[in-house]
Amino acid sequence: MNDVHKTESESTERSASKTSTRRADLRARLVAAGRAAIAEGGLQNLRARDLAAAAGCAVGAIYNVFDDLDDLILRIGADTLAHLEQGLAAPPGPAPEPAEELLRLSRFYLSFARANKALWRALFEHRLAGGRPAPAWYLEDQGRLFALVEAPLARLLPDEPAASRALLARTLFSAVHGIVSLGLEEKLAPMSEAALEGELERLVRAFAGGLTIRRTGEDPWKD
Amino acid sequence: MNDVHKTESESTERSASKTSTRRADLRARLVAAGRAAIAEGGLQNLRARDLAAAAGCAVGAIYNVFDDLDDLILRIGADTLAHLEQGLAAPPGPAPEPAEELLRLSRFYLSFARANKALWRALFEHRLAGGRPAPAWYLEDQGRLFALVEAPLARLLPDEPAASRALLARTLFSAVHGIVSLGLEEKLAPMSEAALEGELERLVRAFAGGLTIRRTGEDPWKD
């Protein structure tokens, strides 16, 4: 390989890397613009024309860096999940009692949903065109959140098989999500913040207590 | 009052009653048309023009018998709730064990949601314009469903104050709804029908068990 060839190859690499950086920049700008649009007015506020204007690109350029708007919405969702995950991460120190840890996770979920209502709502409202299932990379992002629920469940039920524990984490998350979502939306009679927090605690404590008793015959409520 | 006056008054009454029957007929036809439209394609499939065509009236006539489309959607929702209520009603015979009764109600809720997915989904997706709360008559219809959950809870926790029990019924419903809705939608990894039913049972039994123990110190899982 002579010097001329080397220079040409380096220049091609530099140019490829520049293109890839430009693409990554545009993707990030579009995700940020989409995030702001959803935060302001929900999923129905997401319009390709507005996104392109906010990100400073042509409408067609959106489809050079995302498969379609669904793909962009999933990336915004992943971004929301990442923020949620940061907040849910366990504080340093020894592992707390499982029921307390489950309660901490549930309370943070409620406060996150309250503070980021439109973005949180969009996670559940968005449906992929044609009823397609969510892609594997997105389910993997979700899985990391469920793992945070599985950890205290593993301490609560050390003999539970992993597959059953994974289902249980999802079940507890779904139950908490139901209470949070029906509590924050206006479909049932309105509920005070304190009442909602109290009910969340009642569910988590009764559920954790009931699970423990079933397994060990031990009564966690006895003094 | 002479005969002429009497006849006039009767004729006015007859005509008023005819108008009222016609209005009730049109309302019923519009609710039926709206129900069919939602069942076919969800809330976004509900269009005033199509409804008027299906019910055989002018578009403007919809607004003579309903305040607005939100009002019509609430009436369709009440109709869905009435069907759900019929199915949830307790079978004749002695009252079953509270946990079994809660499980029966939860299972029926799951099967109803599965069989009437679009109409059931519309109950929760629909939001009133301007964030208005649901009207009192609608909340009353909802309340009758919660009463069905309160009855077994009253047997499970006879000393629970009524207000706390009412909140608890709503909490359990919300938890079950969370499991059913995340289980039936495609937002999490797909789940088999049997697994979903198993998880619903796990939640209800652990919750009912945990509540009982907290109150009485009795272990329902002991042989």
Task: Name the burial class of residue B149, with classes exposed (0-12), middle (13-18) and buried (19+) by CB atoms within 10 angstroms of its CB.
Answer: buried
Please give the single-letter amino acid code of residue A101. E
User: Is the confidence at residue A194, as pLDDT, over 50?
Assistant: yes
Question: Is residue A78 within 8 angstroms of chain B, CB to CB?
Answer: no
Q: The tokens of B203 are what?
A: 């939640």
CA atoms of B211 and B214, how far apart (whole Å): 5
Q: Which architecture characterizes domain A67-223 according to CATH?
A: Orthogonal Bundle (1.10)
> So what's the pLDDT on residue B3?
52
A207 and B203 in contact by Cβ < 8 A?
A: yes
First to last CA, chain A: 80
Asked, colleague to colleague, whether B1-66 and B67-223 share their fold, the answer is no
User: Is the confidence at residue A2, as pLDDT, over 60?
Assistant: no
A213 and B203 in contact by Cβ < 8 A?
A: no
pLDDT in tens, B136-173: 999 999 999 999 999 999 999 999 999 999 999 999 99
> So what's the pLDDT on residue A91?
85
Give the pLDDT mean for A144-168: 94
CA atoms of A119 and A121, how far apart (whole Å): 5
> So what's the pLDDT on residue A20?
85
For an interface test with A, the pick among B202, B205, B215, B218 (most A C-beta atoms closer than 10 Å) comes out as: B202
> So what's the pLDDT on residue B4?
52
The ipTM value here is 0.85
Q: Which residues of A touch B167 (CB under 8 A)?
A: 191, 195, 198-199
Average pLDDT, chain A: 89
Give the pLDDT mean for B56-64: 95
Give the pLDDT mean for B206-223: 69
Confidence of residue A7 (pLDDT cuts 50, 70, 90): low
pLDDT in tens, A26-69: 999 999 999 999 999 999 999 999 999 999 999 999 999 999 99
Q: B64-94 as b/e, with b when 16 or more CB fall inside 10 Å? A: ebbeebbebbbbbbbbbbeebeeebeeeeee
The CATH code of domain A1-66 reads 1.10.10
pLDDT in tens, B81-101: 999 999 998 888 888 999 999
A175 and B214 in contact by Cβ < 8 A?
A: no
Domain boundaries, chain A: 1-66, 67-223
pLDDT in tens, A67-118: 999 999 999 999 999 999 999 988 888 889 999 999 999 999 999 999 999 9
Chain A 156-215, residues with CB within 8 Å of chain B CB atoms? 167-168, 170-179, 181-183, 185-191, 195, 198-199, 202-203, 205-211, 213-214
Nearest CA in chain A to B211: A206
B171 and A211 in contact by Cβ < 8 A?
A: no
> So what's the pLDDT on residue B1?
45
- Ramachandran angles phi, psi of A49, nearest 5°: -60, -45
Question: Is residue A135 within 8 angstroms of chain B, CB to CB?
Answer: no
**Å between B108 CA and nearest CA of chain A:** 17
Nearest CA in chain B to A205: B210
Q: Which residues of A touch B127 (CB under 8 A)?
A: 185-186
Give the pLDDT mean for B27-45: 96
A179 and B189 in contact by Cβ < 8 A?
A: no
Q: Which residues of B touch A171 (CB under 8 A)?
A: 179, 199, 202-203
